[in-house]
Amino acid sequence: MWRLNPSLEVLPCGDSAFLVELPELTAVVAYYRGLTGAGASAGVSAPQGIIDVVPAARTVLVTFDPETIRPFEVRDWLESAEPAEGISGSGREVTIEVSYGGPDLAEAAQFLGMSEDEMVKLHTGSEWTAAFSGFAPGFVYLVTTHERLRVPRRNTPRTAVPAGSVGLAGEFSGVYPRSSPGGWQLIGTTTAALWDASKAEPALIRPGDLVRFVEA
């Protein structure tokens, strides 16, 4: 099925990659899921020769091996991909148990004008989608369908955020896979290993996955 997606721009990126630009993050998530089938039961489906498909805030980077697939074939694949419906949908689901009560829970709830309980209910009751990775292996930026949990970053980032910290920043929620500096508002902790290098699939959450938080 050929369908040119008018909101998508394919930019050259050297001789073995294209950068697809989209209008906003929800379009990126839908396009990425449509392109790769990520989250669908069929798993990732990309033509032979595609190496990486990397979603980000407004773009999807696609790298390929020019000895296996020709640039115009990659471009055709990118331009004919159907975005998956909406930001949510059925697919691979990851549940993360959280002990709420992080150092910024009270302040974040106050900022949002709700009680801590209400905030926890909203965080656990929302369906989150893994939009893209970055910052550290296993760290995934999670987005949801509403804006009621938007909080600013901390004015002064912490020099060390413990591994397993669950945070909020802007439109995102996320879990720190390892101890690192960070400026997110910390609302809880999980014992789940977000990144386990000894496993064949070291990342607990991959872009395109659906994520639910539950109270531990």
Nearer of residues 177 and 188 to another protein, judged by Cβ: 177
User: Which residues of the shown chain bind another protein in the complex (CB under 8 A)?
Assistant: 11-17, 19, 51-61, 63, 132-140, 197, 202-203, 206-207
CB of 192: closest distance to another protein in angstroms? 16
Instruction: Name, in order, each residue with C-beta under 8 angstroms of 147's C-beta and a sequence gap of 6 or more.
Output: 171
Residue 127 DSSP one-character state: P
Nearest residue (CB) to another protein, 13 versus 112: 13
**Least distance in angstroms from the C-beta of 32 to another protein:** 9
Q: Do 210 and 92 contact (CB within 8 A), yes or no?
A: yes
Min CB(111)–another protein separation in Å: 24
Closer by beta carbon to another protein, 53 or else 166? 53
- Token match 């909020």: residue? 168
- Residue 136 DSSP SS3: strand
Name which of 64 and 100 has its Cβ closer to another protein: 64
Six token digits for residue 42:
């069929």
Min. distance of Cβ 77 from another protein in angstroms?
Answer: 16
Give the Cα separation of 116 and 120 in Å (integer): 6
